[in-house]
Amino acid sequence: MHRTVITGMGVVSPLGSDLGTFWSRLVAGTNGIGKITHFDASNFPVQIAGEVKDFNVDAFIDPKAQRRMDQFTHYAIAASAMAVKDSGIDFAANDPYRCGCIVSSGVGGIATTEAEVLKMKEKGPTRVSPFCIPQIIVNIASGMVAIEHGLKGPNYAVVSACASGLHSIGNAMRIIERGEADVMLAGGAEAAVSPISIAGFAALHALSRRNDDPATASRPFDKDRDGFIMGEGGAVLVLEEYEHARKRGARIYAEVSGFGQTCDAFHMTAPADDGQGFARAMGNAMKEAGVTGAQVDYINAHGTSTPLNDRIETAAIKAAFGDEAARRVMISSSKSMTGHMLGAAGVIESIVCALAIHNGVVPPTINYTTPDPDCDLDYVPNTARETKVEVCANNSLGFGGHNACAIFRKI
């Protein structure tokens, strides 16, 4: 079996649209959540989100092409360009059929869908844009990234709600592992801060309603949590076969050494109350990586800040790791700062794992002030920790009962 390593990373996020800014703000515990500016949310029950604020799309896509794409594709193309530059790889020097791409999304071009439906209703069906369908389909981001870089190998998108991004990484790892490709871009992108998206999640009572205090609204594992915050952005990894990376002298951030995936088969939106499916995904990932719970230094939790998720994730970690190891391992939720980036979450949080290993720093869970008896592990509250990190786990869950876990190791 071939080994898979991370040689490049790119991010567009509520904390910054380059890797260095994102990481420094994350470690500092910076809040990336504020009032919604993408549309007038004054009459919505939820008026806050983690919006991308400093993104210059012109640096990546010419204006004419921009108008033919939904914003989630903008984010994907930008993140992939930054990841490729970070890796130093020259795709022109590689067989294009040995280089592929999986960039996923939870909802794709939802803002475009909403705008075009309203246009059709107001002006008639002949006024719908000829680019409507290519703008909204989930796989288009992966296709456009492939076009940008000339990648002719495996290419598709995964749709598993908020587990989509981590499934991208797992699938790309398997492709390299089997010898089908030498290099894979694996990513996720989401631009779901739109009226129908906010209204829909609000109707589910899934979102926090701390409209007057966006800085502390996302509070994973805290007793007073009341829902997640919608986030947006994109993240892409350059995954490379180990010998291929070593031969070209690439910098290696970490190895992707295990992946586990299960389904609760329980409820359309709620995780199974016993957390056993989630625990099995973690256990399978650790087994493939050849590590035990006692060897994992850090978990980047799914940690959404919803009452159900955080309680059940805590129980699942205890079941997968054993009580002693669960109480020792450091756990934090990046969503306390970025909000929940849906289909991009699993990738940007994998970047956090790789950087924790590379830099020897575990970022905090901010806004953790009131302990919850049901969430009684070490959530690295409010302040980052400088410490040796050799093995990390990243967790993702998605509506429909999708569970995924990836293990990252220091080379």
Q: What is the pLDDT of residues 148-160, one digit of tens each?
A: 999 999 999 999 9
* pLDDT for res 143: 98
Please compute the mean of the pLDDT values over residues 60-87 and round it to a whole number: 97
pLDDT score of 388 more than 90: yes
pLDDT tens, position by position, 195-233: 999 999 999 999 999 999 999 999 999 999 999 999 999
List the one residue out of 372, 4, 400, 389 whose CA is nearest residue 182: 4
CA–CA distance, 144 with 151 (Å, rounded to integer): 10
Of the listed 99, 101, 132, 162, which one is catalytic?
Answer: 162
205 in active site: no
Of the listed 74, 302, 375, 402, which one is catalytic?
Answer: 302
Domains 4-247 and 258-409 share a fold: yes
Reported as type and span, the H/E element at residue 394 is: strand 391-398
Please compute the mean of the pLDDT values over residues 25-29 and round it to a whole number: 98
263 in active site: no
List the one residue out of 287, 117, 86, 251 whose CA is nearest residue 185: 86
Q: Mean pLDDT across the chain, nearest whole number?
A: 97
Domain residue ranges of the chain, discontinuous segments joined by +:
4-247, 258-409
Q: What are the C-alpha distances in Å from 289 to residues 5, 85, 139, 329, 331?
A: 13, 28, 29, 17, 19
Give the E-state strand segments of 157-286 in sequence order.
183-190, 233-241, 254-263
Please compute the mean of the pLDDT values over residues 28-46 and round it to a whole number: 98
Cβ contact 350:394 at 8 Å: yes
Please compute the mean of the pLDDT values over residues 113-134 and round it to a whole number: 97
Q: Give a three-class secondary structure readout of the chain.
A: CCCEEEEEEEEEECCECCHHHHHHHHHCCCCCCEECCCCCCCCCCCCEEECCCCCCHHHCCCHHHHCCCCHHHHHHHHHHHHHHHHHCCCHHHCCHHHEEEEEECCCCCHHHHHHHHHHHHHHCHHHCCCCHHHHHCCCHHHHHHHHHHCCCCCEECCCECECHHHHHHHHHHHHHHCCCCCEEEEEEEECCCCHHHHHHHHHCCCECCCCCCHHHCCCCCECCCCCECEECEEEEEEEEEHHHHHHCCCCCCEEEEEEEEEECCCCCCCCCCCCHHHHHHHHHHHHHHCCCHHHCCEEECCCCCCHHHHHHHHHHHHHHHCHHHHHHCEEECCHHHHCECHHHHHHHHHHHHHHHHHHCEECCECCCCCEECCECCECCECCCEECCCCEEEEEEEECCCEEEEEEEECC
Pairing of strands 183-190, 99-104: parallel
* pLDDT for res 1: 84
Architecture category of domain 258-409 in CATH = 3-Layer(aba) Sandwich (3.40)
* pLDDT for res 215: 96
Q: What are the C-alpha distances in Å from 112 to residues 71, 81, 394?
A: 9, 23, 31
Return the CATH number of 4-247, one of 3.40.47.10, 3.40.50.300, 3.30.70.1090, 3.40.50.1820: 3.40.47.10
Q: Scanning the structure block, which residue is given the tokens 């794409």?
A: 69
Of the listed 340, 375, 392, 402, which one is catalytic?
Answer: 340
User: Quick one: how far is CA 163 from the chain centroid?
Assistant: 8
Reported as type and span, the H/E element at residue 78 is: helix 71-87
162 in active site: yes
Percent of the chain's residues with pLDDT above 90: 99
Using a 10 angstrom Cβ sphere, with 0-12 exposed, 13-18 middle and 19 or more buried, the burial of residue 121 is exposed
| Total-model pTM | 0.97
pLDDT score of 2 more than 90: yes
Cβ contact 140:65 at 8 Å: no
The DSSP annotation for 94-119 comes to S-GGGEEEEEE-SS-SHHHHHHHHHH
pLDDT tens, position by position, 276-323: 999 999 999 999 999 999 999 999 999 999 999 999 999 999 999 999
CA angle 309, 381, 13 (to 5 degrees): 70
